[in-house]
């Protein structure tokens, strides 16, 4: 792809051209029905979906009354947020879902035929940061990087005077979140949620920008709850604002270009700007426009922006329950209130949404990009890592397989400790370490080898540490046990004095011969 996708519309057009988009022209209800369609499409390996006629109340109109789901809640009982007062009128704002729901669509979004090609771009970026070779390389090698450094300057986010995202500006009494088709994804959800918003804030002390994907529960026509988890950038900005006793300005973007949306979901190193990272991946600067009521910059080619603020002096509100990416409902908890001061949008906006739940869902494919793109960053910090993989059933936080070039006794534990020191990897619950001849992208092979190589008494270590806020298993919120399984071949110094058996493998030349003769012999 020569030019980066400018906005979500160009991405939809590309998906349609490639047979990866299905337009649904019949009415579909944002209450449970859209999410059920999205889940079924993912289960069947189907296309992205564009619901052209969101019709709140359509399920009830057809006599379908979903059974209520009882979700255990903490005491005191959180206040009940009513379902959206949509009425029975169809919305004029179409809803796009499952845009990132396959590896092929992810490749189309990034403009690559293979995710390893995108990972190569990250390696280039790391070379620019550290310089080639030991100690940064020679003067000649540094000079060879000048063209790339100049390219880096051209992809930095660029401020423009205006953009389509501000074709319509709604302020004061015009602000009404219920005018937009927010979805209720699961029967036990506490209400309607915005699920794919790029939430932008600035560090109150340094001015450093953060853009992350955070869910937002609709509380009323001008308010939402802001789900800033403990370990994320938005929560850090909120805590600083709290200490300083000042409001924190917020802009929530629904529908930026696909690479910028991905960048908001990526666990970037602290201090790296998400818009710069997006520009580097898409080889073209992200154009930003200044907000109308907030001193924040937002993607000029977005679809819809909610501008406003969070006041740390205000009482927190109950948010949830919410059907989460763990496959279980995250229970209600206390979060800040986001007050919407303005809605800016295109004249004909497209509403972007996603569902999370029992894996795999669309978030798995977004997480898979991160896995592949961030391997070079992991290898820069821990060079002995050959590859790693987070299987879908591990829901990102529960399980990671790591293949290493083992050099000394206890190497597996050194690598695990290194991974726990890398940003969001600190929340990983179980790390399984194997040798470099194991294909960790095949979980069955990784488990087979690890379980064959490990003695539970000797090779399983339990440590205390931080865990995800969404993990319901630990006795304390966000803190509990973490485990390393050493599935590598053991050295004598690790307590294994017996001979270590060789792995059974077919002779490569014989295997190749059989492949060639397979059809000759009429085998199916």
CATH T-level topology, domain 382-494: UbiD C-terminal domain-like (3.40.1670)
Q: From residue 128, give the alpha-carbon distance in Å to each of 31, 79, 363, 398, 449.
A: 48, 52, 30, 33, 38
Q: Are 197 and 254 contacting, i.e. CB atoms less than 8 angstroms apart? A: yes
Question: Would you list the domain boundaries of the chain?
Answer: 8-352, 382-494
Q: What is the average per-residue pLDDT within 426-452?
A: 95
pLDDT in tens, 241-259: 999 999 999 999 999 999 9
CA dihedral 243, 247, 253, 259 (to 10 degrees): -30
Rounded to the nearest 5 degrees, what angle is found at the Cα of 496, between the Cα atoms of 490 and 501?
65
What does the alpha-carbon distance between residue 314 and residue 310 come to, in Å, rounded to a whole number? 8
Q: What is the average per-residue pLDDT within 472-501?
A: 92
What does the alpha-carbon distance between residue 288 and residue 98 come to, in Å, rounded to a whole number? 26
pLDDT at residue 123 in the model: 78
pLDDT at residue 275 in the model: 94
pLDDT in tens, 387-402: 999 998 888 889 999 9
Q: Are 109 and 258 contacting, i.e. CB atoms less than 8 angstroms apart? A: yes
Task: Tell me, yes or no, if 436 is annotated catalytic.
Answer: no
Tokens of 218: 């609709």
Residue 143 has pLDDT above 50, yes or no: no
Q: What is the average per-residue pLDDT within 212-225?
A: 94
Q: At what angle do helices 8-17 and 258-265 cross, to 10 degrees?
A: 110
pLDDT band at 368 (very low <50, low <70, confident <90, very high): confident
Residue 424 has pLDDT above 90, yes or no: no
CATH T-level topology, domain 8-352: Pnp Oxidase; Chain A (2.30.110)
Residue 445 has pLDDT above 90, yes or no: yes
pLDDT in tens, 316-337: 999 989 999 999 998 888 999 9
> Beta strand 248-254 with 304-310: parallel, antiparallel or unpaired?
antiparallel
Q: Are 163 and 261 contacting, i.e. CB atoms less than 8 angstroms apart? A: no
pTM: 0.87
Residue 315 has pLDDT above 50, yes or no: yes
pLDDT at residue 142 in the model: 46
pLDDT in tens, 511-521: 999 999 998 89
Of the residues 29, 324, 363, 486, which is catalytic?
A: 324
């Amino acid at each position: 792809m020569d030019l980066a996708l400018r906005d979500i519309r160009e991405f939809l057009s590309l998906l349609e051209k490639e047979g990866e988009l299905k337009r649904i022209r019949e009415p579909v209800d944002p209450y449970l029905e859209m999410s059920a369609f999205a889940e079924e499409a993912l289960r069947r390996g189907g296309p992205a979906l564009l619901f052209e006629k969101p019709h709140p109340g359509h399920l009830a109109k057809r006599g379908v009354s979903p059974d209520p789901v009882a979700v255990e809640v903490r005491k005191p009982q959180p206040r009940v947020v009513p379902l959206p007062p949509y009425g029975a009128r169809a919305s004029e704002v179409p809803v796009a879902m499952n845009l990132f729901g396959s590896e092929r669509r992810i490749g189309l979004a990034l403009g690559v035929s293979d995710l390893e090609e995108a990972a190569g771009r990250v390696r280039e970026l790391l070379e620019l940061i550290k310089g080639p070779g030991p100690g940064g390389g020679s003067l000649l090698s540094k000079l060879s990087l000048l063209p790339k450094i100049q390219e880096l300057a051209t992809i930095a986010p660029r401020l423009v005077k205006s953009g389509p995202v501000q074709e319509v500006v709604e302020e004061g009494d015009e602000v009404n979140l219920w005018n937009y088709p927010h979805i209720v994804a699961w029967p036990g959800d506490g209400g309607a949620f915005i699920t794919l918003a790029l939430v932008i804030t600035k560090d109150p002390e340094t001015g450093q920008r953060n853009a992350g994907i955070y869910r937002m529960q609709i509380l009323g026509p001008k308010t939402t709850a802001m789900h800033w988890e403990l370990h994320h950038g938005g929560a850090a900005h909120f805590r600083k604002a709290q200490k300083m006793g000042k409001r924190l300005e917020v802009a929530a973007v629904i529908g930026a270009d696909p690479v910028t949306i991905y960048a908001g979901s990526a666990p970037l190193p602290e201090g790296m700007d998400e818009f710069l990272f997006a520009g580097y991946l898409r080889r073209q600067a992200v154009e930003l426009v200044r907000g109308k009521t907030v001193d924040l910059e937002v993607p000029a080619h977005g679809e819809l922006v909610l501008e406003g603020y969070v006041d740390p002096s205000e009482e927190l509100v109950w948010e949830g329950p919410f059907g989460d990416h763990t496959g279980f409902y995250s229970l209600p908890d206390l979060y800040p209130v986001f007050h919407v001061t303005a809605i800016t949008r295109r004249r004909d906006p497209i509403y972007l949404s996603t569902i999370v739940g029992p894996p795999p869902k669309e978030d798995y494919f977004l997480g898979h990009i991160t896995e592949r793109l961030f391997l070079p960053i992991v290898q820069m910090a821990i060079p002995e890592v050959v590859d790693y993989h987070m299987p879908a059933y591990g829901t990102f936080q529960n399980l990671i397989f790591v293949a290493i070039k083992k050099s000394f006794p206890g190497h597996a534990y050194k690598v695990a400790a290194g991974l726990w020191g890398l940003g969001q990897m600190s929340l990983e619950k179980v790390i399984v370490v194997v040798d470099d001849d194991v294909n960790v992208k095949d979980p069955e092979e990784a488990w087979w080898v690890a379980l064959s190589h490990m003695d539970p008494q000797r090779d399983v270590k339990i440590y205390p540490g931080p865990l995800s806020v969404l993990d319901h298993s630990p006795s304390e919120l966000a803190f509990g046990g973490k485990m390393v399984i050493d599935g590598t071949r053991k050295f004598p110094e690790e307590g294994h004095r017996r001979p270590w058996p060789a792995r059974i493998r077919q002779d490569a030349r014989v295997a190749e011969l059989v492949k060639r003769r397979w059809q000759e012999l009429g085998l199916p």
